[in-house]
């Protein structure tokens, strides 16, 4: 299994807006949605992002949200579904209105393109027990070494982390990452806003892991995988520098590091030089999506790995 892929799934939004059901513990949704053209702005950003990815040799499979189910966060499919060779996994979602996203028939759309999976693992039944695991939002996967990094939060339950690891053959490395919200340390809602793992490097906000032993355990695990660690500050994390993703072009000749324009602007020049050693940086403006959705470039992409 490779760490990066050249084929991804993205969902074109129909009714994007600030989702009040998720804002209760997504502290990246910082502003009230008072605009009357939020969907229009988000769609413009989405289309430009898709174009930027395709221009860099990524195969982007776009599924249109029909708008029939009122799914304001469908633009973030990586929380709802992930792909692992011959397996696809469906996840239990914290917000009730996000559970509707599983009805968008993503698997059916992929099947039309002859992308099929031998086994569908569906954890959605755990919603009845108030147990949640929001996909590769909460699971940052080292796919090569089969390690699942997870910061526990209301969106990530230890029991389901263990279940995922058992079903997919991963080892778990669980910790607690905290975000300063009005002077109070609160759990970061998704691990993928504070860390990202690429083929040869990892970006992580180590400062958000307050427990020294946990922090050292995570750092040592990343180092032992042979990756260079790039530490980002909490301020950089708050500007989505941790919400990046490594991809590769369809011909396999080009490694790409995908991020938003906001994230790019908040990396230091030295960090940009370091990242550029590992691949070409692809950036795109996602300000509306980030402001009201509380997610960025990585959240918008579900990687497709086929057997």
Instruction: Compute the average pLDDT of residues 24-51.
Output: 77
Beta-strand pair 201-204/195-197: antiparallel
pLDDT digits (tens, 9 = 90+) for 180-213: 888 888 999 999 999 999 999 999 999 999 999 9
- For the question of whether the overall pTM of this predicted structure is more than 0.75, the answer is yes
What phi, psi does 282 have (nearest 5°)? Answer: -115, 115
Q: What's CA 285's distance to the chain center, in Å?
A: 17
Higher-pLDDT residue of 34, 2: 2
Higher-pLDDT residue of 170, 185: 170
Higher-pLDDT residue of 20, 187: 187
Residue 27 is predicted with a pLDDT of: 47
Instruction: Compute the average pLDDT of residues 54-74.
Output: 94
Q: What's CA 183's distance to the chain center, in Å?
A: 26
Residue 170 is predicted with a pLDDT of: 98
Nearest residue to 276 via CA among 299, 306, 255: 255
Residue 30 is predicted with a pLDDT of: 58
- For the CA atoms of the chain, what is the radius of gyration? 18
Rounded-to-integer distance, Cα 118 and Cα 111, Å: 12
Query: Is the separation of the CB atoms in 196 and 203 below 8 Å?
Result: yes
Rounded-to-integer distance, Cα 202 and Cα 157, Å: 24
Residue 180 is predicted with a pLDDT of: 87
Tokens of residue 34, six digits: 């008072």
Return mean pLDDT, the chain.
93
Is 7-303 a domain of CATH 3.75.10.10? yes
Query: Is the separation of the CB atoms in 288 and 45 below 8 Å?
Result: yes
Q: Is 195 helix (H, G, I), strand (E, B) or coil?
A: strand
What is each CA distance from 288 to 46, 113, 259, 285, in whole angstroms? Answer: 10, 31, 15, 9
């Amino acid at each position: 299994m490779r760490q990066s892929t050249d084929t991804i799934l993205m969902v074109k939004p129909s009714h994007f807006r600030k989702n009040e059901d998720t804002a209760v513990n997504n502290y990246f949704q910082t502003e009230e949605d008072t605009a009357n053209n939020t969907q229009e702005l988000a769609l413009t950003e989405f289309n430009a992002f898709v174009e930027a990815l395709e221009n860099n040799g990524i195969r982007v499979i776009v599924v249109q949200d029909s708008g029939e189910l009122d799914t304001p966060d469908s633009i973030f499919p990586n929380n709802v579904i992930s792909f692992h060779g011959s397996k696809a996994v469906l996840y239990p979602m914290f917000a009730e209105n996000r559970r509707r996203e599983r009805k968008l028939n993503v698997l059916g759309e992929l099947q039309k393109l002859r992308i099929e999976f031998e086994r569908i693992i569906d954890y959605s039944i755990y919603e009845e027990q108030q147990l949640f695991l929001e996909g590769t939002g909460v699971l940052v996967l080292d796919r090569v070494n089969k390690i699942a990094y997870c910061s526990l939060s209301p969106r990530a339950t230890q029991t389901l982390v263990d279940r995922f690891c058992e079903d997919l053959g991963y080892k778990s490395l669980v910790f607690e990452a905290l975000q300063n919200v009005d002077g109070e340390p609160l759990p970061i809602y998704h691990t993928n806003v504070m860390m990202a793992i690429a083929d040869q490097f990892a970006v992580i906000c180590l400062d958000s892991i307050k427990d020294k032993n946990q922090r050292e355990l995570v750092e040592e695990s990343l180092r032992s995988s042979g990756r260079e660690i790039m530490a980002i500050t909490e301020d950089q994390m708050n500007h989505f520098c941790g919400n990046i993703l490594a991809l590769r072009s369809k011909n396999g000749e080009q490694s790409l590091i995908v991020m938003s324009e906001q994230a790019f602007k908040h990396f230091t020049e030295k960090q940009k030089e370091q990242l550029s050693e590992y691949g070409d940086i692809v950036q795109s403006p996602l300000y509306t999506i980030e402001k009201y959705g509380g997610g960025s470039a990585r959240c918008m992409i579900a990687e497709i790995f086929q057997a």
